[in-house]
């Protein structure tokens, strides 16, 4: 994988799970990472753990920036901080997202707005503000959205969440128009069932998803991380406006988790 030495990265929702794994891998490969999470103690601990575990001379720096990734003023402050601290911004990863289960008959306006604000609004304005900095810098960059397989196939209880994830993939295609002349790539990853702290709390998760996933197991966070690092590296400099599904083949067969 490409060396990320001296690259500056902002990644939201990275206190645990996929975001944490991506942040750690980037630091290991030399990037300076501003790690965001809404939970302040979690963000501080995540950055501390990454810094402790990545102590080679080639490793970058990881700094926590706790805050609400749906708040446009905070997003601007976070990116300004990254640029001030490390001198530039090269990669922005909109990983923060929220899942609230409920069918269309039970979804409240409050839960609808909460999902849309973080999943769509936060991702949109992270991309906008990051690209504004990249345009001034004049050396291109990369923006990555975190979608989901439920942006491709329906899933019980996730009408709003799936809508936002499909919307992110359309946004990646749309932003090609504005970003390509600036040398900025914009893509999305759509993870399938993935083993994280949250999903491992469910004892039925691995058996169910191993049975219905053609490759015979759920994804690990490393599976998603490898795809993410490719899409924000120079190795994918001619890949833009794309959505990469990482699901062990699940969307090819579409067996529901029942």
Beta bridge partners of 34: 10, 63
Tell me whether residue 148 is one of the annotated catalytic residues.
no
Residue carrying the six token digits 């997202």 = 97
Q: Which residue among 123, 147, 148, 236 is the active-site one?
A: 147
Tell me whether residue 24 is one of the annotated catalytic residues.
no
**CA–CA dist 138, 133 (Å, integer):** 9
If DSSP codes are grouped into helix, strand and coil, which group holds residue 183?
A: coil
Q: Which residue among 165, 205, 233, 243 is the active-site one?
A: 165
**CA–CA dist 165, 171 (Å, integer):** 10
Q: Which residue among 24, 70, 161, 205 is the active-site one?
A: 161
If DSSP codes are grouped into helix, strand and coil, which group holds residue 113?
A: helix
Which residues make Cβ contacts (< 8 Å) with residue 217, sequence separation at least 6? 206, 209, 210, 248
**CA–CA dist 250, 227 (Å, integer):** 17
Tell me whether residue 252 is one of the annotated catalytic residues.
no
**CA–CA dist 237, 151 (Å, integer):** 25
Active site residues: 147, 161, 165
């Amino acid at each position: 994988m490409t060396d990320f030495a001296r690259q500056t990265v902002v990644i939201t929702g990275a206190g645990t799970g996929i975001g944490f794994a991506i942040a750690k891998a980037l630091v290991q490969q030399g990037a300076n990472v501003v790690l965001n999470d809404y939970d302040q103690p979690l963000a501080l601990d995540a950055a501390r753990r990454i810094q402790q575990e990545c102590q080679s001379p080639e490793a970058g720096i990881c700094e926590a920036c706790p805050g609400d990734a749906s708040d446009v003023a905070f997003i601007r402050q976070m990116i300004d901080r990254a640029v001030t601290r490390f001198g530039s911004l090269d990669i922005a990863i909109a990983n923060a997202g929220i899942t609230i289960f409920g069918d269309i008959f039970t979804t409240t306006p409050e839960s609808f707005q909460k999902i849309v604000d973080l999943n769509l609004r936060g991702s949109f304005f992270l991309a906008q503000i990051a690209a504004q900095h990249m345009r001034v810098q004049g050396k291109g960059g990369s923006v990555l959205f975190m979608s989901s397989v439920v942006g491709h196939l329906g899933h019980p209880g996730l009408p709003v969440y799936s809508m936002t994830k499909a919307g992110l993939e359309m946004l990646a295609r749309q932003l090609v128009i504005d970003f390509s002349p600036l040398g900025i790539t914009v893509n999305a990853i759509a993870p399938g069932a993935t083993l994280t702290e949250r999903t491992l709390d469910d004892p039925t998760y691995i058996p169910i998803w191993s049975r219905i996933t053609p490759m015979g197991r759920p994804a690990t966070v490393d599976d998603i991380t490898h795809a993410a690092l490719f899409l924000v590296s120079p190795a994918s400099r001619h890949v833009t406006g794309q959505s990469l599904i990482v699901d062990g083949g699940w969307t090819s067969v579409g067996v529901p988790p029942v």
